[in-house]
């Protein structure tokens, strides 16, 4: 394995202990005494420099387009920490997430280290296909329509399906259909997950990342 003097990380988790722990695990995984440097911004410029992108993600976030990811550094590794890793089929995700390495929050350090090592080797295999900006053109990311955004907006504000139907001049059945289709697209199972989804995401995030 090549010796690397500086490994750059983007980490969405601001918890000091998590950041300190994952940086040590990465150094152990690479069998290197390298220096780990955290990049402060989560933008296209930082993504073009990051060796590792580290996220603690709720499952539905993985079904959202991330336009800035098209600037990821070749050979960069995407680590996603989540509750359950067995529920994700990478092939069903946007292309920017399909090369992710999913790590369970309660996995042993040895398991995490092994996953990171395999991900790093795979990302630097000269014969392996890695993510390229052009992949975004053929991406089949699940998108929502403007009407579905309006429905989600009203639901987020506490409106009922019947009230939304009256406001938009549509039938109650149509509003239920839009609601169901959004839940299906983001793999939301039940009303509780829908409310968590609406509370977790801002409407601007939906607008920028998901609408046609």
What tens digit of pLDDT does each residue of 89-136 get?
Answer: 777 777 888 888 999 888 999 999 999 999 999 988 888 777 777 777
Q: Which residues contact 80 (CB under 8 A, 6 or more apart)?
A: 55, 56, 57, 62, 97, 100, 101, 102, 103
Does domain 146-209 correspond to CATH entry 2.60.40.10? no
* Most confident segment among 43-52, 162-171, 196-205: 162-171
Characterise 146 by phi-psi region: left (phi > 0), alpha (psi -120 to 50), beta (else).
alpha
**3-class SS of residue 133:** helix
State the DSSP H helix or E strand holding residue 109, giving kind and residue range, or none if neither: helix 109-123
Q: Is the dihedral of CA 139, 142, 147, 150 positive or negative?
A: negative
Tokens, residue 57: 């993600």
Tell me where in the chain the CATH 3.40.50.10850 domain(s) lie.
6-138
Identify the band that residue 211 occupies on the pLDDT scale cut at 50, 70 and 90: very low
Q: Which residues contact 90 (CB under 8 A, 6 or more apart)?
A: 97, 98, 99, 100
**176: number of Cβ within 10 Å:** 14
Tell me where in the chain the CATH 1.10.10.10 domain(s) lie.
146-209
**125: number of Cβ within 10 Å:** 11
Please say whether the beta carbons of 116 and 51 come within 8 A.
Answer: no
Please say whether the beta carbons of 141 and 65 come within 8 A.
Answer: yes
Instruction: Give residue-wise pLDDT tens across range 30-83.
Output: 877 788 899 988 888 898 999 999 988 776 677 777 767 778 888 899 999 988
The pLDDT score that the predictor gives to residue 64 is 72
The CATH code for residues 6-138 is 3.40.50.10850
Tokens, residue 7: 């490994």
């Amino acid at each position: 394995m090549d010796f690397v003097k500086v490994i750059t990380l983007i980490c969405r988790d601001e918890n000091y202990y998590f950041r300190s722990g994952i940086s040590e695990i990465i150094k152990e995984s690479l069998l290197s005494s390298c220096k780990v440097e955290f990049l402060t911004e989560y933008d296209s410029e930082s993504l073009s420099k990051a060796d590792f992108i580290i996220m603690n993600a709720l499952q539905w976030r993985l079904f959202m387009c991330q336009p800035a990811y098209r600037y990821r550094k070749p050979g960069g590794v995407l680590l996603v920490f989540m509750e359950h890793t067995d529920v994700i089929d990478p092939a069903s995700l946007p292309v920017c997430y399909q090369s992710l390495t999913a790590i369970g929050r309660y996995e042993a350090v040895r398991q995490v280290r092994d996953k990171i090592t395999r991900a790093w080797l795979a990302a630097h295999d000269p014969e392996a296909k890695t993510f390229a900006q052009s992949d975004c053109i053929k991406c089949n990311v699940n998108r929502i329509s403007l009407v579905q955004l309006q429905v989600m907006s009203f639901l987020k504000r506490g409106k009922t399906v019947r009230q939304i139907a009256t406001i938009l001049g549509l039938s109650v059945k149509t509003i239920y259909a839009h609601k169901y289709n959004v839940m299906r697209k983001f793999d939301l199972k039940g009303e509780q997950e829908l409310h968590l989804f609406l509370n977790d995401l801002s409407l601007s995030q939906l607008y920028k990342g998901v609408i046609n």
